[in-house]
Structure 1
Amino acid sequence: MKLFDVYPLFDVNIVKGKGCKVWDDKGNEYLDLYGGHAVISIGHCHPHYIDKVSSQLNNLGFYSNSVINGLQQELAVRLGRISGCDDYQLFLINSGAEANENALKLASFTNGRTRVLSAEKAFHGRTSLAVEATANPNIIAPINANGHVTYLPLNDLEAWRKELAKGDVCACIIECIQGVGGIRMVTEEFATGLAQACKDYGTVLICDEIQCGYGRSGKFFAHQWLGIRPDIITVAKGIANGFPMGAVLISPDFAPKYGQLGTTFGGNHLACAAALAVIDVMENENLVENARQTGTYLMERLKELQQTGHHITDIRGRGLMIGIELDIPHKPIRERLVYNQRMFTGCSGTNLLRLLPPLCFTREMADEFIVKLSQELKH
């Protein structure tokens, strides 16, 4: 058997990680500004994380959701406290796409509607309704194209209000900072106006915080920069630092019913131990504030580099979620950063480098990146 070939790969085999560094099987060291696609929140192989996950595995890795799991209850309390969402309810699953599926399902259970509003360039996952809410026809199979979703321009409040006024919209789902869409920022005016319009028309507002949440923006959730309170918040990626996990944070306005949602693996003991370890490290090492301060510094350095005139046309983002728009394709730049400079970055579209490093990223690392990016942009 061979692998189903759907991923374009760098010719690099990463076998080890520590903090913001990774190593390949030849012993080469790389600076990781990609974080496994924003998954590595507290750094690779953090000793506290290893200890907590190992200890839990020595006790119990898994049992079903038919019994009390005290780790789930502890995680709900801790996550509520660190995020400022104490009064929300927590449903645990395995991935970001699954989080969005359950969020949209819950919205439809609540108001009985079937239409969803999503933003142009949005990415919400690759499963049934999540992929339909993703504005990329190349990944929507015919079986998923069921006409539930209307795509609208981000930040065009009047366009969203016009659709909401039809009275048939189940949910609006937005990323407050679009990731795959190119680090596109939701404005405060749009966010507050949309939240009010959703209330006016009985529509559920879902904030997809899978990539932009969990401290990455310099606040725990990106929507907290915008002064809104979503009905439902979805998270994954950084929640367990690489252990497969996702979650739905559900406002107290929703009443749960037995059997309404369910999962086999979601919220298992090992996943909860990993997620609790992440919160420990985020609190003890002040990583959300570090993301804000280091991200601000890195964006300032990038804007200085932009003034040199070498291919950078725009810098945007918040915290450690940064987009570098170029007037040339990103592909050769990314390849040279990997093979010449030993640095991993992300990308979006044709011309955008995307930076998603672990939240323990430092100013010294930012300076190192600026030097090496500058070298490659001069080619």
Structure 2
Amino acid sequence: MKLFDVYPLYDITPVQGKNVHVTDDKGITYLDLYGGHAVISIGHSHPRYVSAISEQAGKLGFYSNAVQNPLQMELAEKLGALSGCDNYELFLCNSGAEANENALKLASFQTGKARIIAFNNAFHGRTSAAVAATDNKNINAPINAQHQVTFLELGDIAALEKELQKGDVCAVIIEFIQGVGGLDEATADFYENADKLCKQHDSMFIADEIQCGYGRTGDFFAFQQYNVTPDIISMAKGMGNGFPVAGILVYPSIKAKHGMLGTTFGGNHLACAAAIAVLDVLKEEKLMENTREVAAYFVEKAGTIPQIKQIKGRGLMLGLEFDFEVGELRKKLIYDHHIFTGGSSNKKLLRILPPLTVKKEHIDAFFDALNNVVMNS
């Protein structure tokens, strides 16, 4: 049997990881400044994380959500305390797409409405409603067209108000920093007025924090820079440091009913052990503080390279925009300098999403390599 060929692959086979490095099957070690799409939050194979999963696997790896699981409560309590969102309620699932799917479904249950407002260049996942709210026709199949989704320009508050006034919008879903779309952001006025308009028009305000959340911006969630109160917060990627775990945080005005949401694997014992370890390490190693410090250093270094036309993003969710497409640049960084970086739908943007354990010396190594590539191209 062959694999279904849907991924363009680099000719690299990682077999081991440690903190911000991965080593391939040929013994070559790479600096990982991409973290597998912002998934690796506390570093590859963190000993605290490995120990937590190993110990839990030796006790009980899985049982369904038909029984009590105290690890879910421990996770909820620690997540609430570290995030500052302890008045929300937690529903656990497995992936970012599933988190957004449940967020949109819950919004529709709550409002009795069906239409979704999303924004140009948005990426919310690849499942039914989530992919319909994703601004990429190439990954939307005809079956996804059943969903009612209106795309607006990010930052256009007048257009948003006009759509909400129609009274049929169940949810406005927004990445406070767009990930795949190219790290674009709107203004504080836009986000704060969008939140107010949703509340005026009985629509749910969903913060998609799947990539920009979990400490990556230096705050726990990216929306916390603004005076907003999302009705639902979706999260995934950095939540499990590579173990599949995701969830939504639900504001208490939204009441749960038995059976309205469900999952077989979501919140299983191994997933909870992984997620608890991540929270413990984020707190004990002060990784959000490290994120802010290293990010400031990164921006300072980036300012010394004239070929960089714009620096986008916050914290360790950063983009370097050039006046040329960066595909060849990424290949040279990988194959010649052994550094992983990322791309986006903006072909001129180099995306940087390292583990939150990254240090200034790693940033120095990256900029030495980047300078070498751009000066010799």
TM range (shorter): over 0.9
Amino acid at match of 1:314: Q
Pairing partner for 2:319 from 323, 326, 337: 323
Structure 1: tracts of 5 or more residues without a match: none
Q: In the alignment, which of 324, 331, 335 is matched to residue 331 of structure 2?
A: 335
Q: Which amino acid aligns with 2:327?
A: K
For residues 249-268 of structure 1, the aligned pairs below 5 Å read 249-268=249-268
Aligned length: 375
Matched, 1:372 2:369: yes
How many angstroms does 1:229 deviate by?
1.2
Indicate the residue corresponding to 2:146 in structure 1: 146
Give the Å deviation of 1:186. Answer: 2.7
Following superposition of structure 1 onto structure 2, how do residues 208-247 of structure 1 map, counting pairs within 5 Å? 208-247=208-247
Distance 2:371 2:185 in 1: 25
Query: Hey, what's the Cα distance between the residues in 2 that align with 1:225 and 1:235?
Result: 17
Matched residue SS, 1:12: coil
| Per-residue Cα deviation, 1:260-282 (whole angstroms, up to 9, x for no partner) | 10000000000000000001100
- Residue number in structure 2 paired with 1:86: 86
Aligned amino acid, residue 248 of structure 1: I
- TM-score under structure 1 normalisation? 0.98
RMSD: 0.7
1:353 to 2:350 alignment: yes
* SS at 2:103 equivalent: helix
Structure 1 residue 69: Cα displacement = 0.2
What amino acid is the match of 1:162? K
Distance in 1 (alpha carbons) for counterparts of 2:191 and 2:274? 32
Q: Distance in 2 between matches of 1:236 and 1:345?
A: 20
- The answer to whether the 8 A contact 2:129-2:147 is kept is no
TM-score (normalised: structure 2): 0.99
Are 1:363 and 2:360 counterparts? Answer: yes
**What is the CA distance between 1:292 and its match in structure 2?**
1.3
Q: Which residue identity lines up with residue 182 of structure 2 in the other structure?
A: G
Instruction: Write the letter of the residue equivalent to 1:369.
Output: F
Q: Deviation of residue 231 (structure 1)?
A: 0.4
Deviations 1:161-188 (A, max 9, x none): 1111111111000000000000001321
Determine the C-alpha separation between the residues in 1 that align with 2:124 and 2:270.
26
SS for the counterpart of 1:266 is coil
- Tell me, in whole angstroms, the C-alpha distance in 1 between the residues paired with 2:293 and 2:312: 15
Aligned AA (2:340): F
| 1:147 Cα offset (Å) | 4.5
Amino acid at match of 1:365: H
| Partners of 2:120 and 2:153 within 8 A in 1 | yes
Cα displacement (A) at 1:227: 2.0
- Secondary structure at the aligned position of 2:56 is classed as helix
The residue that corresponds to 1:29 in the other structure is 29
Unmatched tracts of structure 2, length 5 or more: none
Cα distance per residue 1:7-43 (max 9 Å; x no partner) = 1111110111000011110110110000010000000
Q: How does 1:46-125 map to 2 (within 5 A)?
A: 46-125=46-125
Residues 187 and 226 of structure 1 are in contact (CA less than 8 Å); yes or no, is this contact kept in structure 2?
no
**One-letter identity of the residue aligned with 1:18:** K
Which amino acid is the alignment partner of residue 242 of structure 1? G
